[in-house]
Amino acid sequence: MTTQIEIAKRALGLLDLTSLGEDDGDATVSALCERAYGPWGAVAAVCVWPRFVSLCRQRLAETEIRVAAVANFPEGSDDIPRAVAETKEILDAGGDEVDVVLPYDAWLNGRREQARELVSRCKEACGPEGHLKVILETGRLGCAENVAAAARDALDAGADFIKTSTGKTEKSATPEAAAVMLAAIREAGLAVGFKAAGGIRTVQDAGIYLGLADLIMGPEWASPATFRLGASSLLDNLLAETAE
């Protein structure tokens, strides 16, 4: 039986340490970068607003921690040129990953091709080195059928990861949506990752999503290249568990 300490140690290296507050400044982001590595190891990535990418790149220059930033965030606009411009801004500043929000309202209103085009154009803007994580905003998509269909659309359009949520809506990540998304990845047979984000605060929360990945994708599947937990407060709980 997997213990809480084992879960915490495993989750630490899969964490996208996140700072997306409206009032974030250089000091906040610098502190985030300082917490991204320590005697316990390093998180997988930090995730910030685009304006902080170059700062993170500087602060993390001597590490292998990836720098991610959000685009089309958090509202999921259907403005394709804006999303593409933000994606290019992130990559040009030295970012490794772009977490772009699927235009979920457009998708729900039948403009699925427009949503796919936004993902495809952003993936193209990432070039050969950048990774694109597509945020489905599963709490707004509603039923499992919509989550599955949106996941397939994102995968078809070139997503490197599919991600549950922005964390800015009333309903964020849920195990039910995660299971649907993981099943979509498995059925597609693609080398694509999954990221759970929004409301993940405890070791128990982390264990639920890791358990789903193990069950659906296999116990050897989850790694920083394929599985992430997006959170801001989870790190404290993980460290507290490993210190006990």
- In the annotation, is 171 catalytic? no
pLDDT at 244 over 70: no
For residues 52-56, give the mean pLDDT.
98
For residues 136-160, give the mean pLDDT.
98
Instruction: List, as one string, the DSSP characters of 6-73.
Output: HHHHHHHTTEEEE---TT--HHHHHHHHHHTEETTEE-SEEEE-GGGHHHHHHHTTTS--EEEEEEST
List of residues 6+ apart from 228 with CB closer than 8 A: 14, 15, 16, 44, 45, 133, 161, 163, 193, 194, 195, 196, 197
Q: Which stretch of 45-54, 122-131, 162-171, 235-244 has the lowest confidence by average pLDDT?
A: 235-244
- In the annotation, is 99 catalytic? yes
For residues 160-179, give the mean pLDDT.
97
User: Given 99, 153, 160, 205, which residue is catalytic?
Assistant: 99
pLDDT band of residue 39 (cuts 50, 70, 90) is confident
**What pTM value is reported for the model?**
0.97
pLDDT tens for each residue of 191-205 = 999 999 999 999 999
Which phi and psi angles does 159 have, rounded to 5°?
A: -55, 140
Q: Domains in the chain, start-ordered, CATH in brackets?
A: 4-243 (3.20.20.70)
- In the annotation, is 88 catalytic? no
d(CA 128, CA 229): 24
Alpha helices by DSSP H, listed for the chain, are 4-12, 26-35, 53-59, 80-92, 104-108, 112-126, 138-141, 144-156, 175-188, 203-217, 234-243
- Quote the mean pLDDT of the chain: 97
Q: Which stretch of 38-42, 95-99, 101-105, 154-158 has the lowest confidence by average pLDDT?
A: 38-42
For residues 49-70, give the mean pLDDT.
97
d(CA 56, CA 46): 8
66's tokens: 């990836």
